[in-house]
Structure 1
Amino acid sequence: MNQTTVKTLFLMQVGSMPEYRIPIVCYLVQTTDGRNILIDTGLPEHLPEEASDFQNGEDVTQHLARIGLTPDDIDTVISTHYDIDHAGRHATFPRARFVVQRAHHQDAATNPRFAPLRAQWDQPADRLHLVDGDTTLVPGVDLIETSGHVPGHQSVLVRLPQTGPVLLTVDAVPFGGGFSTDPPEGSAPDGERSRASTLKLLDLAEREQATLVIFGHDQSQWATLKQLPDAYH
């Protein structure tokens, strides 16, 4: 029996915060045994009043259609966290299981920050896969617990056959200027847990010899990256 390995990583911009020139992004990992693993789902179709700073673009389903995929083709959604720009279309994927840190899902149940999007992330228990801490999801896809931005946030390490290890920091390190043991003031999230997560990712990137570190909302970096339909292999 052939072992599952990762073969492709697609990057998709699905929206923005125009005032701050911040991209809203999702990722798709494809494996050699035909799995389609989506990482985050972007903004909701109808933005609530409190999200007026955001702007939808080509949504995640439109991006997927460009490479011949429908929502039914997504078997797994890695939910890094339930903020409105990351979990806005979870319910669009009726056959997916949702992989999230247990600590985050439990916090969201009573945290008003996530209440406006509850219809998206509050999926049936049999479709939730709650994980505790760093976890290998499939060979070549590791979930990295990086609390700080929110409790139970997770980043993702993807090992590609040609590109090598790619670290998706997501909101643990949203901008490249903060990826340092001593970041300039204002360039990194505040708080002891955020700093601990940054140091953890720095150590991971060095240990794994990551060839690419992709920051969650860095417009300058995003403009230099391959985006769907181009891909990293």
Structure 2
Amino acid sequence: MMSVKRLGLIVAGLVAVLSLLQACSQPIVSQAPASGVQRLYILNCGEGVAGDISRWSPGVNVGKSMPFAGSCYLIKHAQGWMLWDTGLADSVAAMPKGLRPSDPRAITWYLPKTLAAQIDELGLKPSNIKYVAVSHSHPDHIGNVDMFQNSMLMVQKAEYESPGGSSLRSRPSATVTTIEGDRDVFGDGSVIIISTPGHTVGHQSLLVKLPRTGAVLLSGDAVHFKENWDNRRVPSINFNAEQTAASMQRLANIMASDKAQLWINHDKAQRDGQKLSPAFYE
């Protein structure tokens, strides 16, 4: 007769084999690393009317007026908050006739709600923002940069050192990081500053990889509205036409490789279809 001890060993061996077979039958699922980005808020940082959009598309739509938008983007990351562009100065909100340009073809800007109020609505203070990055140094993108004295400002070195960057150079140097080329902001590939010169000497755009929405590419002023993007038109007011065309092609390449949506900062028709803060994208 088989001993009880021997029988027990056989049963234990069979259980081990069955467990191994069951484990092998399970599909192997590779887990992609989780994005450190948790949320992205679109803030209303300006609304305006362009007097003549041929200023941005030479020879096309001459004399045609067009509504513009100005957006800022607040990103919640596991390592801290980041603000992309600071929009028009909050003082514009107190101008009932708007901020009027000297060139009638340009944009008359209005500010329905201050940036400070929108940040406060989310339960935040400017001191909670770890990084502030600006696409470039034009007033409708850096109007509130001084509100974030404790934040690290991230800007292309060429932009910072250009004549247009003079207002940025008033900050203490310890609160400025100058970049040459691209920069992985948090080191995990989820928020990447992309060098896209042309509109200005040191213009940059931003790639944000959201866990549910997917990748979004924030254009800055590498392109101003969809029709110009579709036709690859270069504004006559840009710093360098060849760099502008190359930067637009680079954005197109990133859109293809990362399956990214292009969010065009000044395209009001696009923004009217988006969720504004306090709603958010994940």
User: What does residue 73 of structure 1 align with?
Assistant: 128
Question: Are residues 1:194 and 2:244 paired?
Answer: yes
Classify 1:74/1:145 alpha carbon distance in 2 versus 1 (closer, same or farther; 3 Å).
same
User: What does residue 136 of structure 1 align with?
Assistant: 184
Report SS of the residue matched to 2:198. coil
> Is 1:42–1:59's contact at 8 Å kept on the other side of the alignment?
no
> Is 2:45–2:87's contact at 8 Å kept on the other side of the alignment?
yes
> Is 1:78–1:98's contact at 8 Å kept on the other side of the alignment?
yes
What CA distance in whole angstroms lies between the structure 2 residues aligned with 1:189 and 1:199?
15
**Cα distance, 1:56 vs. partner?**
2.2
Report SS of the residue matched to 2:136. coil
User: What does residue 15 of structure 1 align with?
Assistant: 46
Q: 2:174 is matched by which residue type in structure 1?
A: D
Question: Are residues 1:125 and 2:173 paired?
Answer: yes
User: What does residue 45 of structure 1 align with?
Assistant: 90
> What is the aligned-residue RMSD (CA, Å)?
2.2
**Cα distance, 1:178 vs. partner?**
2.5
What is the 5 A alignment of 1:164-175? 164-175=214-225
Of 110, 118, 122 in structure 2, the residue corresponding to residue 55 of structure 1 is 110
| Bigger share in helix | 2
What CA distance in whole angstroms lies between the structure 2 residues aligned with 1:37 and 1:232?
15
Comparing 156-165 and 20-29, the one that deviates more? 20-29
> Is 1:87–1:121's contact at 8 Å kept on the other side of the alignment?
no
User: What does residue 6 of structure 1 align with?
Assistant: 37
Q: 1:129 is matched by which residue type in structure 2?
A: T
Comparing 164-173 and 41-50, the one that deviates more? 41-50
Question: Are residues 1:157 and 2:207 paired?
Answer: yes
Report SS of the residue matched to 1:54. strand
TM-score, with normalisation over the residues of structure 1? 0.87
User: What does residue 29 of structure 1 align with?
Assistant: 75
> Is 2:136–2:204's contact at 8 Å kept on the other side of the alignment?
yes
> Is 2:90–2:116's contact at 8 Å kept on the other side of the alignment?
no
What CA distance in whole angstroms lies between the structure 1 residues aligned with 2:146 and 2:210?
29
User: What does residue 138 of structure 2 align with?
Assistant: 83
What CA distance in whole angstroms lies between the structure 2 residues aligned with 1:171 and 1:45?
20
What CA distance in whole angstroms lies between the structure 2 residues aligned with 1:94 and 1:143?
21
- Deviation readout 1:45-68 (Å, 9 max, x if unpaired): 345775782222212111111111
What CA distance in whole angstroms lies between the structure 1 residues aligned with 2:119 and 2:108?
25
Identity %: 28
**Cα distance, 1:174 vs. partner?**
1.6
- Deviation readout 1:197-231 (Å, 9 max, x if unpaired): 10010011101111x21001001101011111111
> Is 2:83–2:131's contact at 8 Å kept on the other side of the alignment?
yes
Query: How many residue pairs are counted as aligned between the two chains?
Result: 219
Classify 1:11/1:227 alpha carbon distance in 2 versus 1 (closer, same or farther; 3 Å).
same
Gapped regions of structure 1 (runs ≥ 5): none
Report SS of the residue matched to 1:85. helix
> Is 1:10–1:28's contact at 8 Å kept on the other side of the alignment?
yes
> Is 2:195–2:203's contact at 8 Å kept on the other side of the alignment?
yes
Gapped regions of structure 2 (runs ≥ 5): 1-32, 51-65, 93-98
What CA distance in whole angstroms lies between the structure 2 residues aligned with 1:61 and 1:90?
11
